[in-house]
Chain A
Amino acid sequence: MNPEPTESSDPPEEEKEAQGRPIGRRVLLGTLGLGALGVVSAPVLQRGMDGFLGAVSGKDPTGLTGLLPNGGGFRYYSVTASVPNRNAQNYRLTVDGLVDKPATYTLADLRAMPQTRLVKDVQCVTGWRVPGTPFEGVRLSRLLDAAGVRAKAGAVRFTCFDGAYTESLTLDQARRSDILVALRMQDKPLGHDHGGPVRLYVAPMYFYKSAKWLSGITVTEHVKPGYWEDRGYDVDAWVGKSNGRDDDPTS
């Protein structure tokens, strides 16, 4: 057995004892170490935590889990100070650019067109995911076909009535059947906070592509990066295959 070193064999020990031991520094460095460990093990921790919170938040009547990081549910992001309200009376959606028949739609016009309902997960690039969310609206490809896209067109640009947000898709992406001009979400008319009365819904991509408060669709020759894409996010924002993330695909 190894004998414990006695205090008398270590003269400075008494001096140190009088001053006390440097535990404060250890607490500080330990906290730093735990933080670093957290970053390294975050992918595993996050998966477990999201799974747990996703299961719990569905049965949480207080809604408190919604305040936890990634606690299930949507988060409100707006890039401007305030967003005007638009309703059935004053909402307009314009389709223009490289098209033969530019058009302006009212909310009633859009509601009168054939509606498509999709139920898929919503994945935000910041990590939160909301499972099985129904969106309903007009296929974007239908609006493009109605306008008559010209041969040299290659992309579609979206503008919003918040006055700042923009998005874009290639023409091939825009023609996919899982991209909607959405009028309803979670089987309710789209509320203002969720980007109502009309928003874009790009099912296979991170949710920043699904521009809220959609007011303009312009067919262009080339893709022009949108608001967040000018700030570092990927233009081709496929869920699980962009922005350095490996989430499960949503569509």
Chain B
Amino acid sequence: MTLRAEAHAPATEPSSHVRRFGRADRWVHRTTAALMGICVATAACLYIPEFAELVGRRQLVVRIHELAGVALPVPVLFGLFSRGFRVNLGFLNRFGPHDRVWLRGALMRDKRRSARPADKFNAGQKIYANWIAGASLVMLGTGLMMWFTHLTPIMWRTSATFVHDWLALTIGIVLGGHIGMALGDPEARAGLRTGKVSREWAKREHPLWKP
């Protein structure tokens, strides 16, 4: 009989790092990001003349865009099987008094740590997550109306196109902000890549979070 080394190691994780995301969280984010990326790239090829001239093949690009769009909510639906993911959705849903303080700090551009109290997710992340979820569903609904034109009265196609176009532009800008902020915080990115973040980072960025 051999004793495995782990048996002697302490059961807790190394104290320098804390667990932020489970495997389900990371895969939901990864696959959703990939599908969103496909939607944005194909949308660019359909709407921006320079790209449209480069790519052409309108029918094929439309088909890829449609399939990626319909698949967009699927990773989140699968994620619901994971308890950890559902707990995180709960964190994203619930707003406490500190979130009001955080939002005021963000509006006033107050960068002091005391002005930005945050639980596992800060108020900005919560609003972003819920807004992008709602916006994606609106894009899905209007997209389906444009795709299956016989499902709704034909005049709705124009209305759906109008909402789809303008919301696409808005999502493009907001998504750019989301990616920009991630680029500015390597440790947050590492958290989504490895599932772990350093204890100092957690204390600094999410002081109210008790991992």
A residues with a Cβ closer than 8 A to B are 17, 19-25, 27-32, 34-36, 38-40, 42-43, 45-46, 66-70, 75-83, 126-127, 193, 232, 243-246
Q: Do B160 and A75 have beta carbons less than 8 Å apart?
A: no
B47: chain A residues within 8 A (beta carbon): 69, 75
Residues of chain B in range 36-82 having any CB-CB distance to chain A below 8 Å: 47-49, 52-53, 55-59
* Segment of B10-18, B25-33, B147-155 engaged in the interface with chain A: B147-155
Task: Kindly state whether residue B197 has any CB partner on chain A within 8 Å.
Answer: no
Known A21-B95, A31-B131, A67-B48; judge A77-B58 contact (CB<8 A). yes
Smallest distance from the beta carbon of A33 to chain B beta carbons, Å? 9
A35: chain B residues within 8 A (beta carbon): 134-135, 137-138, 141-142, 163, 167
Please classify how large the interface on chain B is, using the bins under 10, 10 to 19, 20 to 34, 35 or more.
Answer: 35 or more
Task: Kindly state whether residue B94 has any CB partner on chain A within 8 Å.
Answer: yes
Q: Do A46 and B162 have beta carbons less than 8 Å apart?
A: yes
Question: Which residue from B53, B59, B138, B165 sits with its C-beta under 8 Å from A79?
Answer: B59
Q: Do B134 and A38 have beta carbons less than 8 Å apart?
A: no
Q: Do B134 and A31 have beta carbons less than 8 Å apart?
A: yes
Known A20-B96, A27-B127; judge A127-B161 contact (CB<8 A). yes
In the complex, A17 Cα to B47 Cα: how many Å? 46
In the complex, A243 Cα to B154 Cα: how many Å? 7
> Which residue in chain B gives the minimum CB-CB distance to A67?
B48
Q: Do A39 and B52 have beta carbons less than 8 Å apart?
A: no
B residues with a Cβ closer than 8 A to A are 47-49, 52-53, 55-59, 92-96, 99, 126-127, 129-131, 133-135, 137-138, 141-142, 145, 149, 153-163, 165-169
B53: chain A residues within 8 A (beta carbon): 76, 78, 193
In the complex, A219 Cα to B99 Cα: how many Å? 71
B162: chain A residues within 8 A (beta carbon): 38-39, 42, 45-46, 69, 127
> Which residue in chain B gives the minimum CB-CB distance to A68?
B169
Interface pairs (22), CB distance under 8 Å: A19-B94, A20-B94, A21-B94, A23-B93, A23-B94, A24-B126, A24-B130, A25-B130, A31-B134, A31-B138, A32-B134, A35-B142, A39-B156, A43-B159, A67-B48, A69-B162, A69-B169, A78-B57, A79-B58, A80-B56, A127-B158, A244-B154
Question: Which residue from A19, A42, A69, A246 sits with its C-beta under 8 Å from B159?
Answer: A42
B133: chain A residues within 8 A (beta carbon): 28, 31
B129: chain A residues within 8 A (beta carbon): 24
In addition to A25-B93, A30-B134, A39-B159, 16 A-B residue pairs with Cβ atoms within 8 Å of each other are A23-B95, A24-B129, A28-B133, A31-B134, A35-B135, A39-B160, A43-B159, A46-B159, A69-B166, A69-B169, A75-B47, A78-B58, A126-B161, A244-B153, A245-B155, A246-B155
